[in-house]
Amino acid sequence: MPPEIPDKVYFKIGEVGQIVGVEPYVLRYWETEFPQVRPDRAASKQRLYTRRDVELLLEIKRLLYEEEYTIAGAKKKIIGRKKPPETGPLKPGHEILVQVKEGLMNIKRLLEKF
């Protein structure tokens, strides 16, 4: 069972290491091997991983450690999978606005019936 990923927009490298179960230097190495992993950088130059990055790193770990793929094999497997559409990270509070909008649209539909 994969570990639960906290509901956050960004994760620091130490947090990601704990979630994925590898040391930060392993994550930095995987960044060089898998261009799909591309954390943002804070003004302080610290890596900021998105949820998508963490999910991808968990998949990379599974391929390498559990299915015993080589780095080259894992790259092919990652490249060959269907890519989800990139929406980019949501700004803080955006999720709430989306839910409010959906709620208001539902109310509007109900009122239009009268």
Mean pLDDT of 12-36: 96
Angle between helices 24-33 and 51-61 (to 10 degrees): 90
The 10s digit of each residue's pLDDT in 57-94 is 999 999 999 999 999 999 999 988 755 555 555 556 66
**For the chain, what is the mean pLDDT?**
87
Listed as own residue / partner, the contacts of 98-104 with beta carbons closer than 8 Å and 24 or more positions apart are none
Q: To the nearest whole percent, how much of the chain has pLDDT over 90?
A: 58
